[in-house]
Amino acid sequence: MKYTIQQIANFLQGSVEGDAGVEINNLAKIEEAKPGDISFLANPVYTPFIYRTGASAVIVRKDFKPEKPVKTNLIRVEDPYEAFSKLLGFYNKKHDKTGIETPSYISKTAQIGENVYIGSFVYIGENVRIGNNVKIFPGTFIGDDVNVGDDTLIFANVSIYHDTKIGKNVTIHSGTVIGGDGFGFVPSNGKDFKKVPQIGNVIIEDYVEIGSNTSIDRATLGSTIVRRGVKLDNFIQVAHNVEIGENTVIAALTGISGSTKIGKNCMIGGQVGIAGHIKIGNNVKIGAQSGVSHNLKDDEIVVGSPAIPIKQFKKSSIIFKNLDDLYKRIQKLEKELKKYKETDKS
């Protein structure tokens, strides 16, 4: 990477304050940057670093007003974080591979688009459809009748079972399993469990990102659905017949039980457990390590296990922190009451 500050500003639709001709060859954090680097300032916590950073340029908000002289050059934009993310995407060319490596297996009935990359030891089954510009990294398994949309990126050692439908611009990170059987068993004779066949599929819509080692189970009947724009972190379990609404984000180690429906634009923290057959509304926020066992309405914010409204949780936490003192006070009162009763009897 070697561009002038002006070229970068043009790319980001920003304006330059300083020497627009200085060349940039690297991206860096504002506190670690050196000459030739470009960084950004979005979080006010990092403001002190802009006065001593070694960066040749820093991306800042349009209305940023320094409290003292700034030695670096500035690129002013509407949203520094979004602008820097755009720059990161432009800088990252490591996934720009094309061609089909050997050994790999591609069924004769598979349809492969243009400008694709298929890495070594990839298996592509019967009647698979791979769109244009798709990148499939080594060791990945794609079962029969799978559809993969244009511009999708599938990293190494991903397993995609039969009948899965994946949209455009999807990113699936290593170790993820999509379309494995849902956890369906029925007791037999009060002792053994018999497996319930899982004959549905998984649908992943456009612009979804799925973190490493996440598992999305196929439906018993119908589809497990991850809607457009959903972002899933690493180590998430999505059970059979779950539906996750558009633009919902879910942090690591969350487990969603079967047939639960999650609305649009929700934010779910790490290590959350969600019971099955419940409905979570739109714009819901669930704090980390919460246990959700009941329906949640639109715009609710809950935390705790069992999950309760955040205002109620904050009040309860004050009491919880004082439980030891309250217990000691009760013990003291009981002793005094006992003495009073003994005195009264005498």
CATH top-level class for 3-91?
alpha beta
pLDDT at position 29: 96
pLDDT at position 319: 87
Least confident of 76-85, 162-171, 333-342: 333-342
For residue 69, the Cα-to-chain-centroid distance in whole angstroms is 39
pLDDT at position 142: 98
pLDDT at position 290: 98
HSE, CB side, 13 Å, CA atoms: give it for residue 141.
12
Least confident of 80-89, 110-119, 249-258: 80-89
pLDDT at position 277: 98
Catalytic (active-site) positions: 240
For residue 29, the Cα-to-chain-centroid distance in whole angstroms is 22
Identify whether the C-beta of residue 196 lies closer than 8 Å to the C-beta of residue 184.
Answer: yes
Query: Six-digit token pair at 239?
Result: 């059970």
113-161 pLDDT per residue, tens: 999 999 999 999 999 999 999 999 999 999 999 999 999 999 999 999 9
85-107 pLDDT per residue, tens: 999 988 876 677 899 999 999 99
Q: From CA 312, how far away is CA 138, in angstroms rounded?
A: 50
pLDDT band at 191 (very low <50, low <70, confident <90, very high): confident
Q: What is the mean pLDDT of residues 214-239?
A: 98
CATH topology for 158-306 is UDP N-Acetylglucosamine Acyltransferase; domain 1 (2.160.10)
Q: From CA 247, how far away is CA 242, in angstroms rounded?
A: 15
Identify whether the C-beta of residue 221 lies closer than 8 Å to the C-beta of residue 240.
Answer: no
Beta strands in 89-166 (DSSP E): 99-100, 105-106, 111-112, 117-118, 123-124, 129-130, 135-136, 141-142, 147-148, 153-154, 159-160, 165-166
Percent of the chain with pLDDT over 90: 88
pLDDT band at 188 (very low <50, low <70, confident <90, very high): confident
Q: What is the mean pLDDT of the chain?
A: 95
Q: What is the mean pLDDT of residues 51-70?
A: 96
Q: From CA 294, how far away is CA 260, in angstroms rounded?
A: 10
Identify whether the C-beta of residue 225 lies closer than 8 Å to the C-beta of residue 208.
Answer: no
Identify whether the C-beta of residue 308 lies closer than 8 Å to the C-beta of residue 290.
Answer: no
Residue 8 has pLDDT above 80, yes or no: yes
Identify whether the C-beta of residue 286 lies closer than 8 Å to the C-beta of residue 304.
Answer: no
